[in-house]
Structures are given as structure tokens and as C-alpha cells.
Amino acid sequence: MSITVCVVCGDSAEKAYPVGSFDEFKCPNCGYYSVDRQLIDEMEAADQVFDTERTQQYLMIHSRPGQVPAITRDETTNHQLIVEST
Ligand SMILES: [Zn+2]
């Protein structure tokens, strides 16, 4: 575990171990979730961020007991989770 910035809300969060091509985060606001690492890199390069409210809602809906909700490129497109950084 290391301290990092939550990619969803920007608060400080814990970064758990990478699982496959995903990085897991534990945020007091957004919960336990994983994000495609390549997606994070691409978003940073393109100056894009997650829409905090929509992404938190997405994570809440997709959270299941014993399962970490994952954010993939397809899901960000389907749910319009990415916005331009201001
Ligand atoms: Zn968060």
C-alpha cells in the first residue's frame, strides 16, 4: 500500500497492489475500485479526468460483495465518465 491521489475525486487514497493490467485504489470517498492502468496514462497524456459524481455513482452501482468494481475504457465511454480537465 502506498498513499496516492484518488483518480476519481482527487482526495488522498491508498494504492493497493496492481492486479493484471489494473491498479487498485482504496479511497474513503469512492471506496475500493480498480482502473485500467493504460487508461490512466492515456487520460493524463490527454489532460482528461474522471467526472467525480458520475464515476462515484458508477462505482456504487457496480460494487458487489467480494468484488472490486473495475473502470475500463469501454465503461468510461458507455457511461461518459471522462471529462476534459479544466
Ligand atoms: Zn476518491
Alpha-carbon separation of residue 63 from 2, 42, 68, 70, 76 (angstroms): 23, 25, 6, 9, 16
In the structure, ligand 1 is a single-atom ion and the residues with CB under 5 Å from it are: 6, 8-9, 27, 29-30
pLDDT at position 19:
86
Handedness of CA 12, 16, 17, 22 (dihedral sign): negative
CA–centroid distance, residue 11 to ligand 1 (Å): 6
C-alpha of residue 55 to centroid of ligand 1, in Å: 9
Cell of 64: 458487489
Per-residue pLDDT, 1: 67
Statement: residue 86 has pLDDT above 80: no
Q: Band of the pLDDT at 43, cuts 50, 70, 90?
A: very high
Cβ-contact 35, 71 below 8 angstroms: yes
pLDDT of residue 17: 79
**For range 18-22, the mean pLDDT:** 92
CA of 26 to the centre of ligand 1 (A): 8
Give the bridge partners for 22, in sequence order: 19, 36
